[in-house]
Amino acid sequence: MIAKGRAGLAGALIALLSFGAGAFAQSHFGDMDGAENSLQRAVGQLEHARDIFGGHRENAIGLANQAIGEIEAGKQFASQNGY
């Protein structure tokens, strides 16, 4: 009976440590990652939009891609500077 209890406790401990390692491995730039993902989805939607906006759709795609580049550069800067 004690062996089953220890095995259950060991299993729970392994599950907890695995969850903790997974959470730690995730990016610590959550808001920046979220913004980047939103911009990537926006670019996808803009690319599927009809081309009836007098060049403004293309400008919006370019600006969104520029913003994505700035986010990536910011995350790289933060990583290289210990954040």
pLDDT in tens, 29-78: 999 999 999 999 999 999 999 999 999 999 999 999 999 999 999 999 99
DSSP code string of the chain: -HHHHHHHHHHHHHHHHHHHHHHHHS-S-HHHHHHHHHHHHHHHHHHHS-S-STTHHHHHHHHHHHHHHHHHHHHHHHHHTT-
Tell me what pLDDT residue 3 has.
52
Total number of domains in the chain: 1
Confidence of residue 26 (pLDDT cuts 50, 70, 90): low
Question: How many CB atoms within 10 Å of residue 39?
Answer: 19
Residue 16 has pLDDT above 70, yes or no: no
Residues with Cβ within 8 Å of residue 79, at least 6 apart in sequence? none
Q: Print the domain residue range for 64.
A: 2-80
Report residue 27's pLDDT band, with 50, 70 and 90 as the boundaries. Answer: confident
Res 19: pLDDT: 44
